[in-house]
Structure 1
């Protein structure tokens, strides 16, 4: 990888030093370097190694885990994905995987087949909730069930979240801030808000009952390491996509986004057709809208990108019931009322 010049004589830096420099580069810079075609193979190898080292550090078998992720459409997200797309951001406490509804057995079997891993039993209760196209995926913040696995020799923890959607990405769109909206498939690393993440900034995914939905002090971890989380995108820009044709959708809480839009950064680390992660989802972050007299609250919106969705909304059809599982308090046998304990890894 001869792209860094050390002397006027155009001698390249030693390979080891180049590797150390590349290891510090965020996803956006790796993508920029891919503008030089001869560098693409080397950069792909580096990014793949970055992912595999993350998996290995939690005692998983790197390539076998990537194969499982591709086969079951499972993705890696949370702090581990943030560290992959933005090295030096954090030290992951655990690994958080997300799989489509009905695919948990495949992912669980692969992890439990790795020596040392066991599933931590949890007392659960089944709940049912009515949903319509208006609240398609907001039930339990997009999570059907959480599974917790522990590597006994090291106490390393893995959390598998089964989505209520055929897309594993629904729960990710309910995360507390855009800083965490990154994920890794079996072939590709993706950052949904790359401009902000590159600048170590994030927008709050606002909710009226934020303290109930998310773990206490969840934002302190990130502000404590020098990251900024903005509660209102108006503090960063004046125009919104619905009000200004020049506003950047990727930098706005008000914008409706799609998983496959061009505002995300994507970089494949191995050659293969783009992995289809189920139906395409659209979302808009939760935010506040200030009028002259009042403040309106808009909750997070996640739904399918499909022409039939608008017809269903218009006629209010396709109401259905969804099953999900919640943990019980061990001492009382009652449902744990802390929503974050059942819909986000802890």
Structure 2
């Protein structure tokens, strides 16, 4: 899905990292593509610019490869930085030491070129540098995004265990939801699914309310960026009511969802109410129900879930005939106790936690359709 999205934004040579143990995709593109990917991608976590990919055998190889790069061509030493390192099958002993050596190399390169060096800021750096090492190869990236792209810039209130916005967008895409199709989240929490659906319904660029690290690059083109933003904003439709419905048992959750929608200028687009999921009815003859049901980590009361799950399954069978249901959960008890046969079980990750997206096609007489095999994980 991410590959297809990036191709639609002008990326070329889009490829996954199959067999490498790494998530995400790699692609080629010019700065217009970079700007568009940051502004308009709903699924990507970050857009990283690869600076180098070289063989290595020691920490000193990593240092020398990093120091040889023309850092002063890319950003000013007055900016702050932070280095992040990840590895798979790396033979070197300490990732912390590699992180320190990369930082030293960047600072030494700046000092040699200009006599000054960047300071380190571990909380809110201007520049983020990412290193990745496998068994033989060292890759170095400059982060063009800054804050992760799931930080859209408008959500103020979270639920008990909110999912990231880009994961919610990916789940809606996996569900096959399209603007105009009725969508219900009956356990909406802070309203992440509804926010993503509302933005997509109105063709609002997800990054239109935030800033990006590339705006601080020396090669930043303000005119090009203004044109990219102008084109995206011109596609945006006015905030009129959409067939998007949300509810939650708790009034505080409904209030949080309403506050988040208001902050995004979307309060009039979604219909919200306080309701028990076991007492609601379908708001339309057909549509898509998507939810992140409570599970043990969120509630701390597994006994209550053993009552909730079969009751939820009964409600879905009786009141949502003609709907497709997608439940996202890390709880292995849910598929066992909901008493419905999942037509798909898609493995996904919410941060480091492995979860499943369970699809149920609600038809008259219960679930007796042909099961489909598990699918691969959603790219990060």
TM-score, scaled to structure 1: 0.28
User: Which structure would you say has the larger RCO, counting Cα contacts within 8 Å and 6 or more residues apart?
Assistant: 1
TM-score, scaled to structure 2: 0.26
Larger radius of gyration: 2
